[in-house]
Structure 1
Amino acid sequence: MIFGPTPLEEAKGAILAHSLRLTGKVLKKGTVLDDAAVAALKDAGKREVITARLEAGDVPEDEAAERLAVALTAPHIARSRAATGRVNLFAETAGLLVIDAKRIDAVNAVDESLTVATLPNHTVVSAKEMLATIKVIPFAVPGRVLSVVEAVARSAAAPPLTIHPFRPLKVGLVLTELPGIKESVMEGAVEATSARVEALHGTMLPVERVRHEEGSVAEALSRLKRAGAEILLIAGASAVVDRRDVGPAAIIRAGGAITHFGMPVDPGNLLCLGEIAGIPALVLPGCARSPKLNGFDWVLERLFAGLKVKRADITAMGVGGLLKEIEVRPLPREQAPRTPAPLLAPRRARTVAAIVLAAGRSRRMAPLNKLLVADQQGVPMVARVVDNALASHARPIIVVTGHERDRVEEALSGRPVLFAHAEHYAEGLSASLKAGLAALPEEAEGFLVCLGDMPLVAGPMLDRLIAAFDPEEGRAIVMPTFRGKQGNPMLWSREFLPEMASITGDVGARHLVGKHADRMVEVEMADDAVLRDFDTTDALKGLPRSG
């Protein structure tokens, strides 16, 4: 690929390296210059531009990203359409993401032009969740380099990224009792275990409550095994402290064996792993009574995903295994530091508000106000939009009212939102937008502009936009896309407030994107919710059930 200044006479077919603002027009980075673009540049007085020109054997960025995505794709993994040299990979089902980290490292080490970024290994994922992103850094990749990367990605029988779907396993729990143990402690252990199992698509067999004795526990394990248990758990009234303690001894007495005792994960150190006739059998650490993340979660997730957990798997969990803060233990006076150690300040989260535009007159559905039409569960559409915003990290939520103000406010009664009334809402969208902007708090660094007729944009989608927002790194406008199509809502930095204040008529701020293309980033979504609005009676009939 040839990169650098290119005379306009030679620029046709070249790729524009940087966005250029011309009179009444913006040529975006990555544009393939045609006759019209070259003519526009000449009219603007340009004699040369910075471009990239492909040479023989070069593979354009989108094609290169697509080819690498194909090499990485496996069952239960879907990919997005290539755009700006990027392809995202998504889970098609809930399960455990397992990554061949060495192979991904090898792919990234071949050449700086091709990159793959993934979630951490052994991450629990849900359907439609993004797993990885493939990004081609330059505008093209030499074909020989791409061929090497594809070969590395396919260098083993198993793909480098795999989703192991969770299986609907039956789980048996033995709960041991000692005199003086509060009933609330016992109930807490059952509730926490049941919640974990159900979250992984499993079911609990009736709990066995027995004395904290080896023989009683062994008999209970045998009964659960005959009842069809596919995982056996022991929650002891007293923490296990040795391989010969009650829980591990009961596993052996029931015909099993101990695989490993202890784990380099805190909380979770005292987990004991064994098996009985091929059925995993675990003695739980005391922390498993709590719903908070602990080492037991990591083991249970792998078992539900169909992975056999071995001693080596447990001992390899140490890096990243510190899951909680441990209080500083008292030191002898002569060893104690004279001043406390400084605390590192956490990275400050961006403060983003959400403006929900709910002032329109619903002309296409008159005399109905579409925002107040209830779904199959009786929830007005505007309430679904607001509930989605409340489920995100955006704060505050500002609802702009206009047409049928009282009814809209009544529909949102009890929700922690701020209302901003657009007195001149009849003048069009710009009046509603300005009313919302006027209500923004000073501390808001950015704001989402949410449309009241897009009820399928869920809280996690909004959080993905917020996570991408960073004006200091050039991501001052964040736009959601689905398969390359641009959608809503958009997230804006407050630096655009002066320009938005000058907008008039029935238009929003989207036209500012062209003017500030180099300040915008697109975030690909897993489904088309960001493209779907509901502004006709027929469209409302297709509105899915909420929740």
Structure 2
Amino acid sequence: MFGMIETKTALGAILAHKVSAEGRTFKKGHKLTRENLSFLVSSGISLVTAHRIEPDEVDEESAADLVSRAIGAEYMSIAPAVGGRMNFYSQENGLFVADKKLVDIFNSIDHAITLASLADRISVTAGEMIATVKIIPLAVPRLAVEAAAAVAKTGCMIKVMPFRRHTASLVATQLPSLSEKTMSKTARILGGRLMERNSLLLSETRVAHSAEAVAAALRVEIETRPPSDHMIVVFGASAVVDKNDVIPEAIRLAGGVVERVGMPVDPGNLLVLGRVGDIPVIGAPGCARSSSENGLDWVLDRLIAGDHLDGLDISRLGVGGLLKEISARPQLREEPARGAHFLDEEAVSA
């Protein structure tokens, strides 16, 4: 029961607001004791705004703890409840995954019980906060807490998929217009991307910008690399503009399957995803020559974390897929205003 309560009868009630008197302060959420009541009455405070916990209710701290423990904590740590809130933290660098439908059901059980999280399938680092449970009032019905906990146990509402160690090979095509400096920088930036995800760039192979040359390089990689936890990234000297362009055609010539040409993430639209046997082959967009976030990052996150990714999955990335522009791209989304300056530090020459 919430409301104004006579101070002398408020034993065990939970304060809804801070109360101060004669140099002492009782904070919101404080459970009133006999000594507290005697002091407050003697200080002239005859009424307090508080919540008296009923037998069929659970206080905010216990409610937060009960529902949070039901959510599970694989590769996550949970901080103790404070003020009806419990925070979840990632214990690994990896991919955060949320089941939006299940979270929506959880949040619809009772307005007093809430779960907020990061966006689904976003990369996280060890120690990063990924979700928080907050109980809104000072106490909630026990039946609501039990219902929320039951929903949490029906599936995996939130989880962290750690980045598993992968290896990668780089196949890069050459044209006279593409400088040695740019190609070396591309390999260095790709290597950095992989290291951030607990993975390693093993080799770089440079070939002519033709489907036949790329296919031959792919065949060599397939024959010499282990099929598990390995991928091939192809950087074309010229951007892919058609499903029959150099990179997708090379994947087919090597005996592979092209799953997607183009993705609804920008920068990153011109990415190609395919497979030769069990080895993923990624045709990287030109913007990935920059270290700025782009569609390649999203694909690497999911593949290296062991998440399922195919053409249909990529088609569903459009909402949230409009990323910060990379100013040095050859073709920007819109013409910059006269005199505008960009913050991007790295140039993209292909």
Quick check: TM above 0.5? Answer: yes
Q: Which one of the candidate residues 152, 155, 158 is aligned to 1:161?
A: 158
Following superposition, the deviation at residue 198 of structure 1 comes to: 1.0
Deviation of the 1:272 alpha carbon? 0.8
Q: What amino acid does structure 1 have at the position aligned with 2:199?
A: G
Structure 1 CA distance for aligned equivalents of residues 287 and 30 of structure 2: 56
* Runs of 5+ unmatched residues, structure 1: 331-339, 341-547
**Where does residue 341 of structure 2 map in the other structure?**
none
Once the two structures are TM-superposed, the CA of residue 29 in structure 1 deviates from its matched residue by 1.0
State the shift of 1:112 in Å: 1.0
Offset at 1:258? 0.3
* Aligned equivalent of 1:303: 303
**Distance between the aligned counterparts of 1:223 and 1:201, measured in 2?**
25
Q: Is residue 91 from structure 1 mapped to residue 116 from structure 2 by the alignment?
A: no
Alpha-carbon distance in structure 1 between the residues aligned to 2:335 and 2:184: 32
Provide the C-alpha distance between the structure 2 equivalents of 1:327 and 1:251, rounded to a whole number of angstroms: 29
TM-superposed CA distance for 1:8, in Å, is: 2.1
- Does the 8 Å contact 1:170/1:228 carry over to 2? no
Task: Give 1:70's aligned amino acid.
Answer: R
Kept in 2, the 8 Å contact 1:73–1:79? The answer is: no
Question: 1:329-340, aligned counterparts within 5 Å?
Answer: none
Q: C-alpha separation between the residues in 2 aligned to 1:250 and 1:47?
A: 83
Match for residue 222 of structure 2 among 220, 225, 229: 225
Q: Please give the alpha-carbon distance, in whole angstroms, between the structure 1 residues aligned to 2:324 and 2:34.
A: 61
Query: Which residue in the other structure is 1:201 paired with?
Result: 198
Give the match's secondary structure for 1:243.
coil
Aligned pair 1:81/2:80, yes or no? yes
Deviations 1:477-523 (A, max 9, x none): xxxxxxxxxxxxxxxxxxxxxxxxxxxxxxxxxxxxxxxxxxxxxxx
How far 1:194 sits from its partner (Å)? 0.9
**Alpha-carbon distance in structure 2 between the residues aligned to 1:324 and 1:147:** 43
**1:156-177 deviation digits (Å, cap 9, x = unpaired):** 3xx1111111011010110111
| Deviation string, structure 1 residues 427-459 (Cα, Å, up to 9, x no partner) | xxxxxxxxxxxxxxxxxxxxxxxxxxxxxxxxx
One-letter amino acid matched to 1:39: S
Question: For residue 250 of structure 1, what is the aligned residue in structure 2?
Answer: 250
Amino acid at match of 2:44: G
**How many angstroms apart in 2 are the aligned matches of 1:316 and 1:213?**
31
Match of 2:178 among 169, 181, 186: 181
Question: 1:346-385 alignment to 2 at 5 Å?
Answer: none
**1:52 matched to which residue of 2?**
51
Give CA-to-partner distance per residue, 1:135-178, whole Å, 9 cap, x none.
1111111011111111222223xx11111110110101101111
State the shift of 1:328 in Å. 4.0
Shift of 1:247: 0.9
The one-letter amino acid paired with 2:101 is: K
d(CA) in 2 for partners of 1:204, 1:112: 49
| Alpha-carbon distance in structure 2 between the residues aligned to 1:155 and 1:132 | 18
Q: CA separation in 2, counterparts of 1:307 and 1:254?
A: 25
Amino acid at match of 1:183: E
SS at match of 1:244: coil
Amino acid at match of 2:132: T
Correspondence 1:213 to 2:247 = no
Deviations 1:177-230 (A, max 9, x none): 112321112112111211111111111112011111222211211222233261
Asked which structure has the greater RCO (Cα within 8 Å, sep 6+), the reply is 2
Preserved contact between residue 89 and residue 131 of structure 1 (Cα < 8 Å): yes
Structure 2 residue ranges without an equivalent (≥5): 326-331, 338-350
Determine if the alignment matches structure 1 residue 11 to structure 2 residue 40. Answer: no
**2:123: which partner in 1?**
124
Match of 1:293 in 2: 293
Give the Cα–Cα distance (whole angstroms) in 2 for the partners of residues 129 and 250 of structure 1: 40
Q: 1:327 to 1:246 in 2, by over 3 A?
A: closer
SS at match of 1:154: helix
CA distance in 2, matches of 1:280, 1:220: 14
Aligned to 2:66: 67
Q: 2:60–2:138: 8 Å Cα contact kept in structure 1?
A: yes
- Deviation of residue 50 (structure 1)? 1.1
1:526 corresponds in structure 2 to: none
Q: Which amino acid aligns with 2:55?
A: A
* Conserved 8 A contact 2:5-2:47: yes
Deviation sequence 1:101-154 (CA, Å, 0-9, x none):
111111111111111111111121111211111111111110111111112222
Q: 2:267 & 2:128 partners in 1: Cα distance? A: 27
Distance in structure 2 (CA, Å) of the matches to 1:205 and 1:222: 16
Query: Aligned to 1:128, what secondary structure does the other structure show?
Result: coil
Letter of the 2:22 partner, please give it.
T
* Cα deviations by residue, 1:288-335 (Å, 9 ceiling, x for unpaired): 1111111111011100000121112111111111113555459xxxxx
Aligned to 1:470: none
Distance 2:24 2:50 in 1: 18
**Partner residue of 2:133?**
134
User: Secondary structure at 2:274's aligned position in 1?
Assistant: strand
**TM-score, normalising length: structure 1:** 0.58
The AA in structure 1 aligned to 2:194 is: V
1:268-299 Cα shifts (integer Å, max 9, x gaps)? 11111100101111111111111111111101
Equivalents in 1 of 2:177, 2:113: separation in Å?
62
Distance in 2 (alpha carbons) for counterparts of 1:265 and 1:93: 26
Report if aligned partners of 2:171, 2:214 keep a CA contact under 8 Å in 1. Answer: yes
